[in-house]
Structure 1
């Protein structure tokens, strides 16, 4: 059954049916639900080329990844975000255009996508300090949503982020309440906005408790198992080693746990660890009892929400910016305990 035939069954125009399946806001919710239910009942799957002709849209969403961040392509955090966003795209009849470009070539890629009309909107990944992409995209007219935030002006852009600063302040306060005063911090690359906010959260908690900030207990690097292992091993070899670690990802924390065991210590008894958990599908933080005490927020849910906001913006000519900052849950696991005497 093609679009025209399916439209006749419903007594609607092909354009209305395409827009209803695409989730456009100008189509009444009652009509969208009716078309969606009929599509399931008749086993109808929209032909994207036909939908593009009917709506004047490309029926595709762009994701631009510079080669400097090629590691993101195999990063389970990125994969879970894409899985969440892709689920929303598929239900709305959209394809995903993933473009890997040379370093410094993002501007050309964005302008080309806008001028060629190859995508209807974009998701911006990994906002960073002084990020030029937001101002650039505002000049192209392409709808976009940022996963995270960037400290840029003006701030009138749509984003979905977690409250990184509050999450890591709470995590640090937990360790301080347990009596830890030597806390190692293994963070992501601090030109990235999320990492900067996490550092600010930790340092603000230490400052509020008049705990000295030791530069030897601070490390910033790509969030890999190897960097977590080497960073923790170096700190544990100090004359006055940390009794706890605050770690920016579950992937790094696996390396931290290995380093603790390499030193003949036991995580949760001799050295405590608190992490951030993105609730990854294929790298779970335990099943019934969390392995690591963690600040927790689903990156897959963030992918879904970014996609929903973007599709709504595509279907609305003058939408106000949508700005969501999610609170993180703090869950207790087996990795934390009182500071050793």
Structure 2
């Protein structure tokens, strides 16, 4: 079935049907619902070229990823986010333009997207505490959404998890178990999420009268190797930590390996709490949670970010959307009372 046949079956004009399917706000909600139901029943898929002509849009969302060998973004976590966002893009008839550029070339990539009209909006991930992309995209007038937040977060759309509260709560959990020497294996602290997690950890310690010890805090790209190296150094000390708070389940696997190599049993000799993005390829729940974790689905975040961004494209004057998701603390086998 083509657009003309679908419109004829509904007794509507092709323009009305096209606008209903493409989210134009001036279409009556009842009419939109009737058109969408008929399209689903007929398994109607709009021709992408026709949609571009009908809407005047590129029907494409841009992602610009920089790589330096030290980036936090080109990793399995980004892949799961992209899978979630891609589900929504496909459902709404949008294509994905992924531009991977060298550090320092991101501004040129964004300016080229805006000048060419090749995208209708941009997804921004991994914001730093001082992130020039926000002001640049505001200057260019490109609709965008930030997965995370930074700076004055009132002037743009964003979705973030409550990183500070999650890590404050996780630290309090370990303190309640009697741990006082708690190591932090964090991500790069120029990144906004990692800076917030450190603040939550430090706030919880200070609230219990414990001065944060810089020698127990590590920050780097969140890889398994980094987690193993950091934990090995800490566990080989005479006055080693009895617990670890880790910013990624990928790094936590390295921490666990370092503990095992030293004959330490998780939950008895040493405790670990990690942030778990609920990665599709790494199931922390296979036989009950292996790790006690602050949990939040990165795939669901990708879906919701895509929905918010597409709504912004359709209704550019709508109020900004700010969503802060709480992370759930799931108790697993990796924590126990301080030895």
The TM-score with structure 2 as length reference comes to: 0.95
Q: Secondary structure at the match of 1:65?
A: strand
Q: CA deviation at 1:15?
A: 3.9
Distance in 2, Cα, partners of 1:169 & 1:321: 28
Q: CA deviation at 1:139?
A: 1.1
Q: Which moved more, 1:158-167 or 1:93-102?
A: 93-102
**Alignment CA distance shift 1:15-1:139 (3 Å):** farther
Q: Which residue of 1 aligns with 2:170?
A: 171
Q: Secondary structure at the match of 1:276?
A: strand
Contact 2:71-2:221 at 8 Å conserved across structures:
no
**Alignment CA distance shift 1:240-1:127 (3 Å):** same
**Alignment CA distance shift 1:327-1:45 (3 Å):** same
Q: Which residue of 2 aligns with 1:161?
A: 160
Distance in 2, Cα, partners of 1:210 & 1:62: 47
Q: Which residue of 1 aligns with 2:9?
A: 9
Q: Which moved more, 1:70-79 or 1:184-193?
A: 70-79
**Alignment CA distance shift 1:124-1:261 (3 Å):** same
Q: Secondary structure at the match of 2:323?
A: strand
In structure 2, runs of 5+ residues without a counterpart are none
Cα distance per residue 1:213-237 (max 9 Å; x no partner):
2212100010011101111111101
Q: Which moved more, 1:291-300 or 1:33-42?
A: 33-42
Q: Secondary structure at the match of 2:155?
A: coil
Q: CA deviation at 1:34?
A: 2.3
Q: Secondary structure at the match of 1:44?
A: coil
Q: Which residue of 2 aligns with 1:221?
A: 220
Deviation >4 Å, runs of 4+: 69-74
Whether 1:147 and 2:151 are equivalent positions in the alignment is: no
**Alignment CA distance shift 1:13-1:51 (3 Å):** farther
Q: Which residue of 1 aligns with 2:246?
A: 247
**Alignment CA distance shift 1:115-1:90 (3 Å):** same
Q: Secondary structure at the match of 1:155?
A: helix
Distance in 2, Cα, partners of 1:165 & 1:58: 38
Q: Which residue of 1 aligns with 2:208?
A: 209
Distance in 2, Cα, partners of 1:284 & 1:26: 45
Aligned residues: 339
Q: Which residue of 1 aligns with 2:47?
A: 47
Q: Which residue of 2 aligns with 1:291?
A: 290
Distance in 1, Cα, partners of 2:243 & 2:33: 52
Q: Which residue of 1 aligns with 2:18?
A: 18
Q: CA deviation at 1:239?
A: 1.4
Q: CA deviation at 1:7?
A: 2.8
Distance in 2, Cα, partners of 1:106 & 1:197: 25
Q: Secondary structure at the match of 2:159?
A: strand
Contact 2:67-2:74 at 8 Å conserved across structures:
no
Alpha-carbon RMSD: 1.7
Whether 1:103 and 2:103 are equivalent positions in the alignment is: yes
**Alignment CA distance shift 1:288-1:3 (3 Å):** farther
Contact 1:26-1:316 at 8 Å conserved across structures:
no
Contact 1:164-1:198 at 8 Å conserved across structures:
yes
Q: Which residue of 2 aligns with 1:335?
A: 334
**Alignment CA distance shift 1:46-1:317 (3 Å):** same
Q: Which moved more, 1:193-202 or 1:206-215?
A: 206-215
Q: Secondary structure at the match of 1:104?
A: coil
Contact 1:293-1:334 at 8 Å conserved across structures:
yes
Q: Which residue of 2 aligns with 1:122?
A: 122
Contact 2:89-2:96 at 8 Å conserved across structures:
yes
Q: Which residue of 2 aligns with 1:323?
A: 322
In structure 1, runs of 5+ residues without a counterpart are none
Contact 1:21-1:93 at 8 Å conserved across structures:
no
Distance in 2, Cα, partners of 1:77 & 1:217: 26
Q: CA deviation at 1:282?
A: 1.2
Distance in 2, Cα, partners of 1:130 & 1:284: 34
Distance in 2, Cα, partners of 1:205 & 1:165: 10
